[in-house]
A = this chain, B = another copy of it.
Amino acid sequence: MPMVIIEGPKADVETKRELVKRITEVIREVYKVHHVSVIIHENETENVGSDGELLSDIIARRRG
């Protein structure tokens, strides 16, 4: 412990490497702990809902 679960978008390995490094630093400094586990769930935009709409539909409409 602690463990961090991130429900995020698709990302490349560089992005995920930076994410794990920096999230771990924050958790360590704020909680004063050493061991930190992170799980990144990459979600398709059609699997995310924001205020009643699929994120994929919101993005498509904005690009309209």
Contact = CB atoms under 8 A, between A and B. Distances in A.
Interface string A5-20: 1111101010111111
Contact of A9 (B1, B13, B21, B55): B1
Contact of A1 (B13, B20, B24, B37): B37
| Identical copies of this chain, number | 6
29 contacts: A1-B7, A1-B9, A1-B39, A1-B50, A2-B6, A2-B8, A3-B37, A4-B4, A6-B27, A8-B27, A9-B31, A13-B56, A15-B30, A15-B31, A16-B54, A17-B53, A17-B54, A19-B27, A21-B52, A22-B29, A23-B23, A24-B51, A25-B52, A35-B51, A36-B50, A37-B48, A39-B41, A40-B48, A41-B47
